[in-house]
A and B are shown apart, each in its own frame.
Chain A
Amino acid sequence: MSEPDALEDRELTELLEAVANRDVSATQQERLAERLAADPDARAEFIQATAFEAMLAYEFPVADARVASSALDVSDPEPHARKWGATRTGWFSVVVGVVILLVGWVAFQTHHGTPDNAADVVGRFADLSDSRWMDPATQVLSGDAIRTGQRIELSSGSVEVLFNTGARLRIVGPTIVEPRTDNSVYLTLGEVHLVAETPESKGFTVVTPTSKFVDISTAFSARVSPDGLSRLNVSEGEVDVVLEGTERSPRLRAGETLYVEPGEGQVMTRIEEGDGTADFRFPTIQPPSREDYADQSLGHTTIRVAQGRLRYQPGQSGPAAVLLDGRGQSQQDAPGESAFFQDRAYGSFLVDLGEAVTVSRVNSYSWHQHLIDPTHRTRAQQRFTLYGFSGDELPDLTLLPDESGWTRIARVNSDHFFKVRELLDRPAQQACSITSAGGDIGRFRYLLWEVKRNTFFGEFDVFVSPSRAARSTKGE
């Protein structure tokens, strides 16, 4: 059910709109039937449009007694959609009830497992906004003390904690966080926002399951997803990212965001907005390169579509090979210079590096903005999962990568990254750079981009460790 876009088929759009408005002329009827009989894409779009109409019809049921006479319960005078909702609500209530009981039990166990007065007061609750707690018995008032080791389990709303050092930590539910010292917390799950403006609060540390975020000055946000993925967003000043087992500490500056995957690979994902020109300039990520290991000019690497098919009409995608040609698109809406899948029929790109090499960085670039409608940038979003495989014998590509021997390297969703809520929130030109705090992402022969959007990708760059790259340029 994709939104109309730069490549939209205007005739089909008009025909579908006429159907939705029940305002179809005889000529339009004939033309629609012709189009649908001849074109599978038109049929898919027609089905999606009618499904959307069905949802609207469900949302706004006809104010008419005829619709109320549902076969499920003819005695019920409620409109059909309400009846459906009520049935669903009944079952949903049971599930919610069970979940509440479970959460309450876990919270009870956790709360009663924590020794009272285990440590010193490190701060106080300063502000509570619509706060609800995982343990309904929890009662917190502004000014209440917080001690080290005290788990704060916020179900919804937000609370602010004022540390003795002057650091202010806003906790947004659902979150589980625990002060470790008077200037650090352990974030198990959820989201916190830190402002550390006093000298004493410098160095405030948020520890997550994958990393430590150490404040250098002022403000940052940290988020831990249920699957262990950590996110750091620096709004002011600088923050060091400390990862276990490595001495390298990437430093993020204001406006920068980083994801850290769980696991030993210490994979980090950085996504940035470009300058919207054919130069593809980004704040820290380099433009598309002709000097990466996978560039077609070096002859090491091939690329093909592993699953799905590239869009062929209207607005035909370029071949997958455009992703290794060392450049992005020349303009904002250039389907022939992009590689992209059919709407809602996503797929995967397979890169064969020729032999197993040590991959240190993988960059991907996208660019899309409608020539007339500046709000329409749907195909700029990058949403994919990157996998690697080191063996020579390729796994069965019809199986799920997670179940067929591939190593999941990173998950990317740039709309989440940019917090897209309105159409203009989504940058038209984007770059994603996947690296590892340890220096190398891993040793792989194959890379698989499992793509979940019809993104206008312009380039994939794969960099290998310097020693391997040096050997390759000498003709090895």
Chain B
Amino acid sequence: MNTDQNSPADTIRQISLHQASLLAYILALHPDRSEAQDILQETNVVLWQKIGEFRPGTNFRAWAFRIAYLQTLAHFKRTKRSHWLGFSTELIETLADEAEPLLTDLEQRQRALRHCVEKLPAQDRDIVRAHYESEQPLAELSARLGRSVGALKQVLFRVRRTLRACIEIQLTEGAGDV
């Protein structure tokens, strides 16, 4: 299964390096975090199984994205469900083509995000953590946190906006151009 050029260590390293990008790519095709995680796991299995087909020296990321795309379509077929947002196959294919060149610096952005999250006020950080870690619907989360759904939406909107701005600033700081 694995050739000399693709040792298990190399394969693990390659797959590990692209986890964030792969998840982002899958989410672009199917923006359901829970199912996207499933598709990512399935993609990882296929990458591991098919690593012998990967030609060293070619673009591993592009190859992995292609497999992620096929696994996303396979997921819809297997679960016998259509896209939860009603996207057509043509639109998913277009997004697949356009996502790849846009998802190039996620490693850097992930590092910047980590730093930005640390700078959030504790209350905001707790809400974001609760939202992403629990994956509860907003109505349930709002009851748990004792806030209205509207208030929760406002906090999440504000925090996302703040974090995105912070990431840009972090990247500028670290760019080293000047």
On whether A33 and B91 interact (CB within 8 A), knowing A50-B24, A58-B110, the answer reads: yes
For window 14-28 of A, CB contacts with B under 8 Å fall at 17, 19-24
Interface residues on chain A, size class: 35 or more
Is B106 in the interface zone, CB < 8 Å from A? yes
Contact indicator per residue, chain B 147-178, by CB within 8 Å of chain A (1) or not (0):
00000010011001101110111001101111
Interface residues on chain B, size class: 35 or more
Cβ contact within 8 Å between A62 and B161: no
On whether A71 and B178 interact (CB within 8 A), knowing A3-B164, A21-B156, A50-B27, the answer reads: no
Cβ contact within 8 Å between B37 and A413: no
Q: How far is the CB of B93 from chain A (nearest CB, A)?
A: 11
Cβ contact within 8 Å between B160 and A2: no
Q: How far is the CB of A412 from chain B (nearest CB, A)?
A: 7
Contact indicator per residue, chain A 1-19, by CB within 8 Å of chain B (1) or not (0):
1111000000000000101
Q: How far is the CB of B33 from chain A (nearest CB, A)?
A: 5
Cβ contact within 8 Å between A72 and B169: no
Is A87 in the interface zone, CB < 8 Å from B? yes
Identify which of A20, A22, A67, A259 contacts B137 (C-beta below 8 A).
A22
On whether A47 and B28 interact (CB within 8 A), knowing A17-B157, A21-B153, the answer reads: yes
Is A29 in the interface zone, CB < 8 Å from B? yes
Identify which of A60, A61, A227, A423 contacts B165 (C-beta below 8 A).
A423
Interface stretch of the complex, out of A37-45, A110-118, A214-222, A310-318? A37-45
Cβ contact within 8 Å between A21 and B138: yes
Q: How far is the CB of B136 from chain A (nearest CB, A)?
A: 10
Identify which of B86, B156, B177 contacts A29 (C-beta below 8 A).
B86
Cα–Cα distance between A19 and B84 once the two chains are bound (Å): 10
Cβ contact within 8 Å between B44 and A44: no
Cβ contact within 8 Å between A48 and B102: yes
Cβ contact within 8 Å between B137 and A23: yes
Identify which of A29, A30, A43, A413 contacts B178 (C-beta below 8 A).
A413
* Chain A residues near B128 (CB-CB < 8 A): 56, 60
Q: Across the interface, name the chain B residue whose C-beta is closest to A416.
A: B178
Interface stretch of the complex, out of B10-18, B58-66, B72-80? B10-18
Q: How far is the CB of A84 from chain B (nearest CB, A)?
A: 5
On whether A378 and B168 interact (CB within 8 A), knowing A17-B153, A33-B88, A63-B134, the answer reads: yes
Is A70 in the interface zone, CB < 8 Å from B? yes
Cβ contact within 8 Å between B98 and A44: yes
Q: How far is the CB of A427 from chain B (nearest CB, A)?
A: 14
Cα–Cα distance between A66 and B39 once the two chains are bound (Å): 12
Is A282 in the interface zone, CB < 8 Å from B? no
Q: How far is the CB of A61 from chain B (nearest CB, A)?
A: 7
Cβ contact within 8 Å between A416 and B91: no
Contact indicator per residue, chain A 58-91, by CB within 8 Å of chain B (1) or not (0):
1111111011011110000000100110011001
* Chain A residues near B48 (CB-CB < 8 A): 71-72
* Chain A residues near B169 (CB-CB < 8 A): 415, 420-421
Closest 6 CB pairs of A and B: A60-B132, A71-B44, A54-B24, A413-B178, A51-B24, A87-B16
Q: Given A52-B160, A70-B44, A226-B176, 8 more contacts at CB 8 Å? A: A1-B167, A2-B168, A24-B85, A46-B95, A57-B36, A62-B34, A87-B16, A229-B178
